[in-house]
Structure 1
């Protein structure tokens, strides 16, 4: 049994969740994948996977083996890349996680350009507004916005964007336009439940905070966008989140003479191991995309 190939097969089974999906990725038959895993478990004398109606999940031993095997494969890929030279391009599978709305608007449409630069590369994009465990989920690089809660995170700042109070013209025509932060208390706000409902502003060194109210609370950015675009109220959001609507006039900024704290975009890498060349190259690509497209606050 080829140990490297066995490790690569096991890693792909864990990441895809089934023998059949792993077989499709590896361009082999499902029986070959099943046989490889059985031989691997036989050689290690330990069960690596739990089989159920919901698919395959690693056992405790399997999770430990997955993490080590994946790191070993990355190291081997790095060694080959270094030997061939940086101009040889990247290959293999890159797993990226990102917030759903941000990725849909700004990352996924740009992936054809990145993939064209690296014909041997595949990308798995995991869309989730929640902060996930990068090691457990096998993520190479995560795109996160805002303050990083984990001080031990290995991260690189990619961009800084503006934040604004936003609403549709229809809502502002119905409810009136606020002229200062205090006016927001009388408005209907669409509240993003992952953030506090106290909004803080600055202007000429002065600070103002207001507690907003709203009948609609949403837990994901897609819901926030939908509610605002349905004229249900105003909200605070990054300009990135409503970039198409700001450009078309479907959404307007208000209180523009007041400043909100900016929003940082980070590339976060799994702690405890060196970021792969694929992850570093992707982070640089996203940094370039954001710099070219959005100069505000950069």
Structure 2
């Protein structure tokens, strides 16, 4: 029995929760997966998996074996890449998760540069505004915004941008432009939330702090819905500059109350718990970080090719 192949098969069973799903992921038959796991349990002399109403789950011994097998596979992959040399580049599939709007505006348009640098890579991108289970979905790296609810996640901060009160010129012409945060109580808000049609927006200017409760007829659970509501002139919202970057540049929306600060939005690269991030995942996170890093206007103007090379070198160094 090929020990590394058996380890990889077991890893996929744990990650997917079933023999059939693991077989689809590995592009082999389900009987072959079942047989490999049975042979692995026989060789080790312990039971690695148990069945439940939710599918297959690892025993305590299985969880311990999974953690070590994952590290062994990753180290073997790293050894292969090191033997081939740095010039061989990254290969295989990289499964990424990101929020729909952020990925559409800021990730997908930048991918030609990343793929040109790593022609051996295949990207599988899951677009979802929800914080999905990275292990269950087989995600290598997720791009998440805002505070991380789970402190056990392996994460790295990539960038941070301010939030603004944003609306269309048509909306402000109809409803007036707020001069101070308190004026927002009289405005219609498009709210980005899971439930309810009210939320509180905290503002700061110097040592002054004020919170304003806003409400509106439209509450949506996805950023694209917030964008659609604002662009339909229904109301204003608070959003990161990432969410409305094209419209802020074109003037289709305007930021108001800019002398007051809202909490910034952080972007994180999040990796599955219990394993070392792969070289592919680290390279992708480094690429996004370099692309979103504030540019040096003088360098971009005087030598755009050098600026591009520096971004790609930052990616390679990771």
**TM-score normalized with structure 1 length:** 0.82
CA offsets 1:9-44 (integer angstroms, 9 cap, x no match)? 666686699969966x87x7xxx5345324314424
**TM-score normalized with structure 2 length:** 0.77
CA offsets 1:186-224 (integer angstroms, 9 cap, x no match)? 000011115971111112321121100111111111111
User: Alignment length, in residue pairs?
Assistant: 287
Structure 1 182/151 Cα, relative in aligned 2: closer, same or farther at 3 Å?
A: same
Rounded to whole Å, the distance in 2 between the matches of 1:178 and 1:243 is 21
Work out whether 1:40 is the aligned partner of 2:36: yes
Tell me whether 259-268 or 192-201 shows the greater mean CA deviation.
Answer: 192-201
Match of 1:96 in 2: 96
**Superposed, which structure 2 residues align to 1:196-275 within 5 Å?**
197-275=199-277
Per the TM alignment, residue 117 of structure 1 is displaced from its structure 2 partner at its CA by 1.2
Rounded to whole Å, the distance in 2 between the matches of 1:246 and 1:17 is 47
> Which sections of structure 2, spanning at least 5 residues, go unmatched?
298-318
Structure 1 233/176 Cα, relative in aligned 2: closer, same or farther at 3 Å?
A: same
CA RMSD of aligned residues (A): 3.3
Match of 1:192 in 2: 192
Per the TM alignment, residue 136 of structure 1 is displaced from its structure 2 partner at its CA by 2.9
Per the TM alignment, residue 172 of structure 1 is displaced from its structure 2 partner at its CA by 1.1
Structure 1 194/176 Cα, relative in aligned 2: closer, same or farther at 3 Å?
A: same
Tell me whether 179-188 or 203-212 shows the greater mean CA deviation.
Answer: 203-212
Tell me whether 38-47 or 112-121 shows the greater mean CA deviation.
Answer: 38-47
Per the TM alignment, residue 244 of structure 1 is displaced from its structure 2 partner at its CA by 0.9
**Superposed, which structure 2 residues align to 1:98-137 within 5 Å?**
98-137=98-137
Structure 1 12/60 Cα, relative in aligned 2: closer, same or farther at 3 Å?
A: closer
Structure 1 21/123 Cα, relative in aligned 2: closer, same or farther at 3 Å?
A: farther
Q: State the SS of the aligned residue for 1:184.
A: helix
**Superposed, which structure 2 residues align to 1:25-64 within 5 Å?**
32-43=28-39, 44=41, 58-60=56-58, 64=63
Work out whether 1:140 is the aligned partner of 2:140: yes
Work out whether 1:176 is the aligned partner of 2:172: no
CA offsets 1:49-107 (integer angstroms, 9 cap, x no match)? 99xxxxx965546x957766554332211121233333321112212111111111111
Rounded to whole Å, the distance in 1 between the matches of 2:29 and 2:295 is 44
Structure 1 255/18 Cα, relative in aligned 2: closer, same or farther at 3 Å?
A: farther
Aligned pair partner of 1:291 in 276, 290, 293: 293
Rounded to whole Å, the distance in 1 between the matches of 2:17 and 2:247 is 36
Per the TM alignment, residue 158 of structure 1 is displaced from its structure 2 partner at its CA by 0.9
Match of 2:309 in 1: none
Per the TM alignment, residue 133 of structure 1 is displaced from its structure 2 partner at its CA by 2.6
Structure 1 119/86 Cα, relative in aligned 2: closer, same or farther at 3 Å?
A: same
Rounded to whole Å, the distance in 1 between the matches of 2:148 and 2:296 is 22
Per the TM alignment, residue 239 of structure 1 is displaced from its structure 2 partner at its CA by 0.5
